A and B are shown apart, each in its own frame.
Chain A
Amino acid sequence: MASQEILREEPSRGSFINDPKVRGIFFQAVVVIVLVALVWWIVQNTIDNLTRLRIASGFGFLRGRAGFDISDSAIAYSSDSTYGRAIVVGFINTLIVAGAGIITATIIGFILGIGRLSHNWLIRKICMVYVEVFRNIPPLLVIFFWYSGVLSVLPPPRESINLPFGSFLNQRGFYFLRPIWGEGSWLILVALLLGIAMAWFVARKARQRQMATGQQFPVFWTSAALITGLPLLAYALSGFPLSFDYPKQSTFNLTGGFQVKPEFLSLYLALSFYTAAFIAEIVRAGIMGVSKGQTEAAGALGLRPGSILRLVVIPQAMRIVIPPLTSQYLNLTKNSSLAIAIGYPDLTATTGTVLNQTGQAIECVLIMMVVYLALSLLTSAIMNVVNARMALVER
């Protein structure tokens, strides 16, 4: 320490070459020039090679007719759609599986993380075994486990397993009834939105009242009643406009209803279960990072164990949990590209098909990289906002 302070107090007064400031600028300039030259050389080289090999380049191919079909598509898509649209379909599929995976992984991860700190020996050990098993298996194997497991255990379509509410389970996936919204069903949606808005308002008022008077109000039950009750009322008032499309047996498969394909199911389950193991460890670390004095102080104030966890420990643990949680969300999103192994049409798979049909390798790889990068940066940005809101507010 001492020697550094001395250096700072007496900057070199020697020759121009020995001036650390000049040297710093010089070396930075050299690095920048080398970097620019390298990039220029690489780009030039690529362009030269493409021209020499007479490979068409540019992004114009995205407007061409795709000509292939995609099994899972959230937006309208047929073989007449463009290559660009095929890539968008893949992108949306990636978003769906990553979004659903993140939600499920977070829920399972929190339960496991808290379970690992349980006072109950059995719960603690079960959670530990789960975490150790899933954390130490490559995600691709977990995906194969679900996919092959699902495929080999389930029966063919003609011998589907009947489940309640007209749903079926077979090799081709999980089928359940699809609601058909009749006339006047917009009223139900409006009622639902109204219910949510009223629940939010009630919660706000209840908090204000608790702050002012210390009296509590059963917010949860009131909100639940509002959110389910109002739409039900609207359903009855508008004359029961809802009907259902049931899955039915046809020559080859079940038709009608809503089908969740095994490719999606296995990818979604595998990503959720795999990432949950990591989230569990993060949650455990977060909770253990909250000083024991906090729990004891809360206990001394007369809070029950559940309330201590919910009101004192978790909010403080979240500050430790969120930054590594962000990395897990990013990992899950990127791991979703393993979908290609089981044929789920995610971004990597559809763009890969486009690449092969058009031969535009550089463009397609660029698109994939930019999209994944943008997705990751967006996830990080959202998590940073959440993190900023969770951060300790200093008074």
Chain B
Amino acid sequence: MKHIAIGILGAAALGLVASAASAATLDDVKAKGFIQCGVSTGLAGFSAPDDKGDWQGIDADFCRAVAAAVFGDGTKVKFTPLSAKERFTALQSGEIDILSRNTTWTINRDTALGLNFVGVTYYDGQGFMINAKKLPGVNSALQLSGAAVCVQSGTTTELNLADYFKSNKMEYNPVVFEKLEEVNAAYDAGRCDVYTTDQSGLYGIRLTLGAPADHVVLPEIISKEPLGPAVRQGDDQWYHIVKWTYFALLQAEELGITKANVEEMKASDNPEIKRVLGQEADTKIGTDLGVSNDWVVNIVKAVGNYGEMFERNVGSGSPLKIARGINALWTKGGLQYAPPIR
């Protein structure tokens, strides 16, 4: 009897939290005056606090873009750092409004967890990093049989790792931690030989290690990791706002609208630019979405277009220096493509 009673109390705690989430996220957000954005506990280039304590990175900027679309002000965001394990519960329970935390889009997460992914803000793949000084001669992931591998628990990374070693008939020894910082510390201290996570993450983590130059990222990419923001399922309006914020960022880049020229662009003769920036007479694009008609102007003013966001956080303007690669626009041979805004 006691078991059942305690169990019910536990379920109760979760039930109470879940009741806090109501369907109309946009109304809630407008009422409280800011967006609660779930980010990582610190991954350079995606979401990490800078020396002033402001969150920087693509994932953090994406939340600012949504805030700009909703409020016309990119600063109306509060960030909640979440571990990989906490992230889905935080979104399901209504603690956060957007989960923008380098989260891989999978069918299971999209269908069984009560969330909806809005798009892919970064196409990533899982890789391996080793200490080349300690392990000279290892230049392929296929040479890693018998190694101790550091990995964060409860991630798709952990599953891909198991699949990869199994399919290549190699042995390994998982060293699993819940928090990214714990994995970093264990790898830096030599508890494991190999660090595995998304390749973009490896470049970011390498910068935080004691001697970054000693570590190399191996060439193999063993999985598809499309990273993107997610919202709660069952609130189509909010889902549309977040999804179209992402598309607006891409569309702005495609049309050459930047943070610097957005005001001039408003007066452009190009009908497409005028339409996207809400300068068409009697336009209803923004209001139909549930935001103001100059939402794209606000987004670009706050964070720039997708390309600017990318270069500033992970690309040439950042210490990570990651090339655009498949994250380039479709017009430049990449995968980033937005449906028309009309």
Interface check B333, CB cutoff 8 A: no
B8 to chain A, nearest CB (A): 6
Please, how many angstroms separate the alpha-carbon atoms of A69 and B154 in the complex? Answer: 11
Interface check B182, CB cutoff 8 A: yes
Interface check B31, CB cutoff 8 A: no
Task: Fill in one digit per residue for B177-221: 1 if any A CB lies within 8 Å of its CB, else 0.
Answer: 110001000100111010000000000000000000000000000
Partner of B113, one of A55, A69, A262, A349: A55
Please, how many angstroms separate the alpha-carbon atoms of A152 and B185 in the complex? Answer: 11
Residues of chain B from 6 to 50 with CB closer than 8 A to chain A in the complex: 6-8, 10-12, 14-16, 18-19, 21, 23
Kindly report which residue of chain B lies nearest to residue A70, judged by CB atoms: B174
Are B154 and A355 in contact (CB-based, < 8 A)?
Answer: yes
Interface check B84, CB cutoff 8 A: yes
Segment from B155-163, B254-262, B271-279 that makes contact with A: B155-163
Are B10 and A365 in contact (CB-based, < 8 A)?
Answer: yes
Q: A52-B234, A151-B191, A252-B147 are in contact. Are A359 and B16 (CB under 8 A)?
A: no
Contacts of A340 in B (CB 8 A): 178
Are B3 and A370 in contact (CB-based, < 8 A)?
Answer: yes
Contacts of A262 in B (CB 8 A): 191
Interface check B2, CB cutoff 8 A: yes
Kindly report which residue of chain A lies nearest to residue B87, judged by CB atoms: A356
Are A353 and B14 in contact (CB-based, < 8 A)?
Answer: no
A377 to chain B, nearest CB (A): 8
B18 to chain A, nearest CB (A): 4
Are A53 and B92 in contact (CB-based, < 8 A)?
Answer: yes
Residues of chain A from 48 to 63 with CB closer than 8 A to chain B in the complex: 49-50, 52-56
Interface check A362, CB cutoff 8 A: yes
Contacts of A172 in B (CB 8 A): 148, 191
Kindly report which residue of chain B lies nearest to residue A172, judged by CB atoms: B148
Interface check B153, CB cutoff 8 A: yes
Segment from A39-47, A223-231, A293-301, A328-336 that makes contact with B: A39-47
Please, how many angstroms separate the alpha-carbon atoms of A172 and B232 in the complex? Answer: 42
Contacts of B144 in A (CB 8 A): 252
Are B154 and A369 in contact (CB-based, < 8 A)?
Answer: no
Contacts of B161 in A (CB 8 A): 68-69
Please, how many angstroms separate the alpha-carbon atoms of A52 and B18 in the complex? Answer: 10
A364 to chain B, nearest CB (A): 10
Partner of A362, one of B11, B108, B186: B11
Are A345 and B176 in contact (CB-based, < 8 A)?
Answer: yes
Task: Fill in one digit per residue for B85-105: 1 if any A CB lies within 8 Å of its CB, else 0.
Answer: 100110010000000000000
Partner of A361, one of B14, B146, B147, B158: B14
Contacts of A361 in B (CB 8 A): 14, 88-89, 92
Q: A252-B148, A253-B147, A343-B176 are in contact. Are A45 and B16 (CB under 8 A)?
A: yes
A-B contacts at CB below 8 angstroms, number: 169
Interface check B107, CB cutoff 8 A: no
Residues of chain B from 112 to 151 with CB closer than 8 A to chain A in the complex: 112-114, 134-135, 143-148
Question: Interface size of B by Cβ–Cβ distance < 8 Å?
Answer: 58
Task: Fill in one digit per residue for B64-96: 1 if any A CB lies within 8 Å of its CB, else 0.
Answer: 000000000000000000001100110010000
Are B134 and A156 in contact (CB-based, < 8 A)?
Answer: yes
Are B6 and A369 in contact (CB-based, < 8 A)?
Answer: yes
Contacts of A365 in B (CB 8 A): 10-11, 14
Contacts of B135 in A (CB 8 A): 251-252
Are A369 and B7 in contact (CB-based, < 8 A)?
Answer: yes
Interface check A255, CB cutoff 8 A: yes
Interface check B240, CB cutoff 8 A: no
Partner of A53, one of B18, B108, B146, B174: B18
Kindly report which residue of chain B lies nearest to residue A359, judged by CB atoms: B113
Are B153 and A352 in contact (CB-based, < 8 A)?
Answer: yes
Q: A71-B173, A171-B190, A373-B3 are in contact. Are A45 and B113 (CB under 8 A)?
A: no
B152 to chain A, nearest CB (A): 10
Task: Fill in one digit per residue for A342-359: 1 if any B CB lies within 8 Å of its CB, else 0.
Answer: 110100010011011111
A74 to chain B, nearest CB (A): 16
Are A152 and B189 in contact (CB-based, < 8 A)?
Answer: yes
Please, how many angstroms separate the alpha-carbon atoms of A331 and B12 in the complex? Answer: 25
Are A353 and B176 in contact (CB-based, < 8 A)?
Answer: yes
B85 to chain A, nearest CB (A): 4
Please, how many angstroms separate the alpha-carbon atoms of A46 and B9 in the complex? Answer: 11
Chain A CB count within 10 A is highest, among B109, B173, B189, for B173
Are B154 and A357 in contact (CB-based, < 8 A)?
Answer: yes
Are B154 and A42 in contact (CB-based, < 8 A)?
Answer: no
Chain B CB count within 10 A is highest, among A54, A56, A255, A343, for A343
Are A343 and B186 in contact (CB-based, < 8 A)?
Answer: yes
Contacts of A352 in B (CB 8 A): 85, 153-154, 178
Are B10 and A53 in contact (CB-based, < 8 A)?
Answer: no
Partner of A46, one of B18, B177, B178, B190: B18
Please, how many angstroms separate the alpha-carbon atoms of A353 and B158 in the complex? Answer: 10
Contacts of A353 in B (CB 8 A): 85, 153-154, 158, 176
Task: Fill in one digit per residue for A363-394: 1 if any B CB lies within 8 Å of its CB, else 0.
Answer: 00110011001100100000000000000000
Contacts of A343 in B (CB 8 A): 153, 175-178, 182, 186
A42 to chain B, nearest CB (A): 4
Contacts of B155 in A (CB 8 A): 356
Are B159 and A53 in contact (CB-based, < 8 A)?
Answer: no
Please, how many angstroms separate the alpha-carbon atoms of A361 and B178 in the complex? Answer: 16
A215 to chain B, nearest CB (A): 52
Are B8 and A359 in contact (CB-based, < 8 A)?
Answer: no
Interface check B332, CB cutoff 8 A: no
Kindly report which residue of chain B lies nearest to residue A259, judged by CB atoms: B173
Contacts of A359 in B (CB 8 A): 88, 92, 108-109, 112-114
Contacts of A46 in B (CB 8 A): 11-12, 14-15, 18
Cross-chain pairs A/B with CB under 8 angstroms, 5 sampled: A53-B18, A67-B159, A356-B153, A359-B88, A362-B10
Seen from chain B, the residues whose Cβ lies within 8 Å of a Cβ on chain A are: 2-3, 6-8, 10-12, 14-16, 18-19, 21, 23, 84-85, 88-89, 92, 108-109, 112-114, 134-135, 143-148, 153-155, 158-159, 161-163, 166, 172-178, 182, 186, 189-191, 193, 232-234
Query: Which A-B residue pairs are the 4 nearest by beta carbons?
Result: A356-B154, A46-B15, A49-B18, A53-B114
Known pairs A42-B15, A370-B6; list 14 more (Cβ under 8 Å): A43-B8, A46-B14, A49-B15, A53-B21, A55-B114, A70-B174, A251-B135, A251-B143, A343-B175, A343-B178, A353-B154, A356-B154, A359-B92, A361-B88
